[in-house]
Amino acid sequence: MKKIAFGIALVVLLYSAIVFAGSNATSGLTAQTFIDRVRYDLNAEATTDTFFSNTILLQWIDEALKIIASTTRCMESSETVTLTSNTISYSISTGHYDISHVIYDSGVTDSSTRFSILLRTIPGIPIPEQQKRPKFWWEWESKLNVFPVPNSEISGTTVIAYLVSTPTSISAASDSITTPAYFDAAILYYVKAKGYFRERSDDKGVKYLEMFNSLLNDYKNRLLYREVPQSVSQEGAK
């Protein structure tokens, strides 16, 4: 029965990697699923096994999530920031690795110019003559900076920051995995690699670490670095 149960668990892990590719949807699995699977594969099923304690396995699972999220930029979220007069810097409350892009929202409905995409820049680059609505943005000391500086006319409007967010830390076996389901198999590969390295089975450790990196690279090549589709011209659409 145990083999059947673990076989089903593995199918769930691998199937989720196929079904949810490119989606932010999670599989709903908890850290316990990965702990059980890794213990089974490493022949360390006894919960009293101090060599592969839950504390160690949870640490490796947490490491895997952070590496996956920072490397693939797969964790996405957004935060709306209200602009105020004469204020250039704004705090972002959501934990994140990077700000992907920023969109300005004038709040004027039924207007073709309600939204505009801000250009990313860095301090020190000359800025063109000021205009009323923000045109540029950059992140400095974990704060979102917009320019031109909002005046009283712009105060009260918003910008939407699209973030590469950080995963929720894993500290208990009951904690849910927050990375997309596509990476469930990668988490398993990483934790098993760490386990094999710990028991000095280096060849197996290298194998599973390569599988981990291969899955991440596959995601980046197919989704993160995919070409933007070309616009269809009116002639081509006929």
Contact status, residue 147 vs residue 134, Cβ threshold 8 Å: yes
Give the percent of the chain with pLDDT over 90. 70
pLDDT digits (tens, 9 = 90+) for 159-179: 999 999 999 999 999 999 999
> Is residue 67 over pLDDT 50?
yes
Residues whose CB falls within 8 Å of the CB of residue 170, separated by 6 or more in sequence, listed in order: 31, 58, 61, 62, 65, 177
Domain ranges of the chain: 2-73+170-223, 79-165
Give mean pLDDT, residues 198-217: 97
Would you give the DSSP letter of residue 59? Answer: H
Rounded Cα gap, residues 40 and 43, in angstroms: 5
DSSP assignment string, 158-202: EEEEEEEEPPPPP-STTPBP-S-GGGHHHHHHHHHHHHHHHTT-H
| Percent helix, percent strand, percent coil in the chain, to nearest 5 | 40, 20, 40
Rounded Cα gap, residues 59 and 78, in angstroms: 28
Predicted pLDDT at 224: 65
Contact status, residue 101 vs residue 162, Cβ threshold 8 Å: yes
> Is residue 87 over pLDDT 70?
yes
127 pLDDT tier (thresholds 50, 70, 90): low
Give the percent of the chain with pLDDT over 70. 81
pLDDT digits (tens, 9 = 90+) for 96-115: 999 999 999 999 998 888 99
Element (H, E) at 80: strand 76-82
Rounded Cα gap, residues 208 and 60, in angstroms: 14
> Is residue 154 over pLDDT 70?
yes
